[in-house]
Structures are given as structure tokens and as C-alpha cells.
Amino acid sequence: MIEDSYLVIQCRRGNREALRQVYEKYRDHLLIVAMALCHDTDLAEDAVQDTFVTFARNAASVRLGSRLRAYLATCAANRVRDLLRAQRRRESSPIDVPEACDEPVRGIVINEELERLSKALAKLPLEQREVIVLRTHSQMRFRTIAEMQGASVNTVKGRYRYGMQRLRTILDGESFR
């Protein structure tokens, strides 16, 4: 966390090396979060790229109330949400899980269990998917997720609980209605 604070301070001063270090440190984490939320390699990569571009442009005004990792994950999740809305406006077809992925995502998706989990996550509503991914992968607090989603902490906890129940049902091979 101290290292992150130092990197943010250096980014505010225009230090490109610090920005590169932030990118290298969190790129894969944000890509995993974005892929889990949208199940589209291109869209996930766009969201991560947009997140870092926005961070670089606004580094001087970034106020970290928590960890940089959580801040960037929130930004990436918001960007995925924006891109999904724009995509839905352009086309009415559902989002499919890609059959084959490009590098660097290929290493993530190849694993059969991760692909199975990814397909199960795709069946959940976006709000539940966000809570599960941000809580389990980004280790964000329910309060932070609630603020991001504009919902109460109890609502977010309910989304997490119901989403996890649905995931268990889907992964156990039962069909959920």
C-alpha cells in the first residue's frame, strides 16, 4: 500500500516510469476482473486499456480512499458496465463466452475449471456477477461495492449470497430457473 501511494504521487508528477509500474502491477488483475464481468476478450481488453488511460489523464486528481488495486478494479468494472450498455444499444444479441481467446487471456481461459466457472458466471445477472468478482477476486469490502453500485450494503450482501447460491447450483449441474 505504501508502494502504491508512492507510485500515485509519482504519477501525479508526470513520472512515466511510475505509470508503467502501476500498469505492469495491475494489468493482469484488471483483465481477470473485466473478463469475469463481460466474457468478451476484446471488450475486457478495451475496458482495461480505458481504465489505465483515464488513470493516466486524471492521476493529479485521484484521491485514494482505499487501495489502488480496489480503485482500479472499480474503474474497470464501471468501464465494463459502460461498454456493455453501449454494446447492447448497438446490437441485441446476447454476450457469448468466447471459444478461443487471444494472448494474454489464453492462459487464463484454457484451464477447464476456469472456463466452466466463467460460463456459470455469465448466467448470473450483472449486479450479482460484479459483487462476486469484486469481493472474491479484488477483495473489496461490501461497503465499497455498495457505494460503487449505488445500493445498500445489505442489498449487496444479498446479491453476493444469491449469486453464490446460483453459482453452486449451476456448477453442480442442476438447472436454475
Give tens-digit pLDDT for 2-50: 788 888 888 888 888 988 999 999 999 999 888 888 888 899 999 999 9
171 band by pLDDT with thresholds 50, 70 and 90: confident
pLDDT at 97: 45
Q: Report yes or no on 176 lying in a domain.
A: no
111 band by pLDDT with thresholds 50, 70 and 90: low
pTM score of the predicted model: 0.62
Residue 25 phi/psi, 5-degree rounding, is -70, -40
Q: Which amino acid is at 42?
A: D
Query: What CATH number is associated with residue 87?
Result: 1.10.1740.10
Residue 162 has pLDDT above 50, yes or no: yes
Tens-place pLDDT, residues 128-156: 998 998 888 888 889 989 988 899 999 99
State the CB neighbour count (10 A cutoff) for residue 33. 27
**Which ranges of 91-149 would DSSP assign to H, the alpha helix?**
106-109, 112-122, 126-136, 142-149
Percent over 70 (pLDDT), the chain: 82
Per the structure, the count of domains in the chain is 1
**Domain boundaries, position 10:** 2-93+101-171
**Residue closest to 122 by CA, chosen among 48, 35, 47, 46:** 35
Q: Report yes or no on 77 lying in a domain.
A: yes
Residue 109 has pLDDT above 80, yes or no: no
